[in-house]
Structure 1
Amino acid sequence: MGDAYAKRVLLTAAGDAVSRGIASTLAKHGCRLVLLGDEGALAATAEEARRCGDGGGGVELVGLDLEACGEAAADAAVDRAWRCFAGLDAFVNCYSYEGEVQDCLSISEDEYRKTIKVNVVTPWFLMKAIAKRFQDTKSGGSIVFLTQIIGAERGLYPGAAAYGTSLGAIHQLVRTPPPPEMYNPECSDSSSGAKVSKNAETLKG
């Protein structure tokens, strides 16, 4: 990460320990961050990242309801994020919804739809929005999705059918070859360190 200085990173987050750690580590290594999500929930994460950085204006917040946004709203949010630092070099998605632990026959339609919306559809909207900008500006960039072992073939856990299905979909999404000039997708399994990648680059550049 020593070469990460001046990289501009869009990070979806919920203010949890994982996203706080990622934000602080990126800031510590010189990255400029745009945190995307619930602005109230991310205020503390932003302050912590600023303390880990140079104390300047290297961390911005862009609000977006990740659980209910449509494609137009997601695209508009990415546009605001893009303008914060006159472009972006990477998108890191580490926001997810686990839902209730229950067997697949007990999951309600609303719960299943919410899980798929938050974990698959919204990240897909965001990926499309930023990848198109990478392509249009010919800048290229990196896209990283964090998942868990439950989304992999070996990750079979009772009561997590909806969550596992959604993370499995993310694994497949990043395995689909993009146009080579668009972006470099990477799926990182945060529980095991395993990665599913296609033309992947790290934030080091």
Structure 2
Amino acid sequence: MDSDITLMLSTATENGKRHLRLCNTDNTSGYSIIKKKETAQIALDTSYAVYKETTEPITIEKAHIEFPTSFFAQFWILLKRMMLIRSRSHTALKVQLVHHILSGLLVGSIFYKVGQNGSLAISNFFFCLCEIVFFMYTHTMTSVLMFPTEVQIVKREYFNRWYSLKAYYAAVIIRNLPLVVSENEKLYWPLRLLLN
């Protein structure tokens, strides 16, 4: 019974995505929901209503979600917070540094002295393919492995309307860029020395 009521309320409020704003309207309550093109008809189940004879189907219009600050302000605050967290996690930075150096030595030893030999064009192609796959998976996996630890915080902060998901993911992408560039340089030098 409680789950039915929770489902009904969650559906009616679009799982917390609605908020009322005080404005000048013709309604007696003085509140209106911010309008958008689409509307949703939600008929309330009257079996749980206190006054069944007054319970009627209601029309709820899709609300335009607004946040108290602009996208750029949300993005900037999130980026500063993420950079501070990244700078404080020395263990993760050391693990990534060692991983990139060891990977550079391993890939360099596999393709040792292939760079200057013109008859090994297919080996050069495989080297380029290996590097592309390495870059894609290494830098993607960092975000993928960190997301489960952040998901509860992100859900709580998003539903409290502290920031939008667009600002969060933009900050995540920009947060990773300096590390991607610096780690790629650490991988490049062992490979350059081994490949000639």
- Shorter-chain TM-score bucket reads under 0.3
Which of structures 1 and 2 has the larger relative contact order (alpha carbons within 8 angstroms, sep 6+)? 2
CA radius of gyration, larger in: 2
Structure with more of its chain in strand, by fraction: 1
Q: TM-score w.r.t. structure 2 length?
A: 0.24
